[in-house]
């Protein structure tokens, strides 16, 4: 059966990006690896005008929440980051080939109803993994910037985040309140399914809106596994 069309991404909309290490092996082996990745992400997100709203670097995978002006800009950003980062990892680990497992997985996110849940999902990854008890204790995520105002040249607030308050302090307080309640099993499952299978994350009205402009936004009959667009899998 033919593969479903790849393209559930639209310019200007926030996109949840997931990339896993090859065979889910460890990717980040040191603080220097994390620092390099974030530096590259900052450099290439600015170069291609991609607004990064949230991120977490886990030991064997990463999550990003990004709004690119065009889909090719997200592809170019990820390609630039990965080419240099993979070369660094291979050089220091004495290996060759890609450290990543295939292309990044992606899904479109409805900024009206699901965006802040996606922020929370990303920044709570270390808590769910049992690495820390509280999200602000994990140094390799955007939580301290979004929740406490830590200075960052990487993070750009999404308009939905800005709507949490009239000032930086009130927005940060409103954001912290979101973390007082855990994501439900239904919310977790929906976010995971969306990003791993590539279907848009949003409410019924959002899905109908996408379908109204000719975008297939829900799974059809079973077929070959669907992958996201080519977002720059490094071949170094």
* Residue 168 DSSP one-character state: H
pLDDT of residue 8: 57
Q: Which of 5-9, 67-71, 136-140 bottoms out in mean pLDDT, i.e. has the lowest? A: 5-9
Phi, psi values for residue 17, rounded to 5°: -115, 130
**What's the first-to-final CA gap in the chain, in angstroms?**
33
pLDDT of residue 220: 57
The pLDDT of residue 96 is above 90: no
What residue spans define the domains of the chain? 15-212
Report whether 171 contacts 84 (CB < 8 A): no
What is the three-class DSSP state of 142?
A: coil
pLDDT of residue 7: 47
pLDDT 10s digits, 98-113: 889 888 999 999 988 8
Q: Which of 43-57, 125-139, 220-234 bottoms out in mean pLDDT, i.e. has the lowest? A: 220-234
pLDDT 10s digits, 59-89: 999 999 999 999 899 999 999 999 999 998 8
* Mean pLDDT over each residue of the chain, to the nearest integer: 87
pLDDT of residue 212: 81
pLDDT of residue 122: 98
- Higher-confidence residue of 229 and 52: namely 52
pLDDT 10s digits, 141-164: 999 999 999 999 999 999 999 999
Three-state SS string across 45-89, please?
HHHCCCEEEEEEECCCEEEEEEECCCHHHHHHHHHHHHHHHHHHH
The predicted model gives 162-168 an average pLDDT of: 97
From CA 69, how far away is CA 167, in angstroms rounded?
Answer: 26
Residue holding tokens 């992958």? Answer: 227
pLDDT 10s digits, 181-236: 989 999 999 999 999 999 999 888 888 888 887 777 777 543 444 445 445 443 33
Per CATH, the architecture of 15-212 is what?
A: 2-Layer Sandwich (3.30)
**Which two tokens mark 220?**
């059809």
């Amino acid at each position: 059966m033919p593969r479903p069309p790849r393209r559930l991404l639209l310019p200007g909309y926030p996109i949840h990006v997931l990339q896993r290490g090859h065979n889910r092996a460890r990717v980040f082996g040191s603080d220097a690896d994390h620092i390099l990745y974030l530096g590259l992400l900052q450099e290439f997100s600015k170069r291609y005008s991609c607004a990064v709203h949230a991120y977490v670097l886990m030991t064997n995978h990463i999550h990003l929440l990004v709004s690119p002006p065009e889909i090719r800009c997200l592809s170019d950003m990820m390609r630039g980051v990965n080419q240099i980062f993979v070369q660094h990892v291979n050089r220091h680990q004495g290996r060759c080939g890609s450290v990543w497992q295939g292309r990044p997985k992606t899904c479109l996110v409805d900024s009206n109803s699901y965006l802040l849940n996606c922020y929370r999902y990303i920044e709570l990854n270390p808590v769910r993994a049992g690495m820390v008890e509280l999200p602000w204790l994990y140094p390799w995520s955007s939580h301290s910037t979004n929740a406490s105002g830590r200075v960052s040249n990487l993070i750009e607030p999404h308009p939905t985040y800005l709507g949490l308050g009239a000032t930086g302090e009130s927005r940060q307080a409103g954001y912290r309140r979101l973390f007082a309640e855990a994501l439900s099993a239904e919310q977790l499952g929906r976010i995971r399914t969306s990003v791993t299978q590539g279907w848009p994350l949003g409410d019924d009205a959002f899905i109908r809106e996408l379908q109204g402009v000719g975008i297939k936004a829900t799974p059809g009959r079973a077929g070959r596994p669907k992958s996201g667009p080519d977002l720059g899998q490094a071949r170094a």
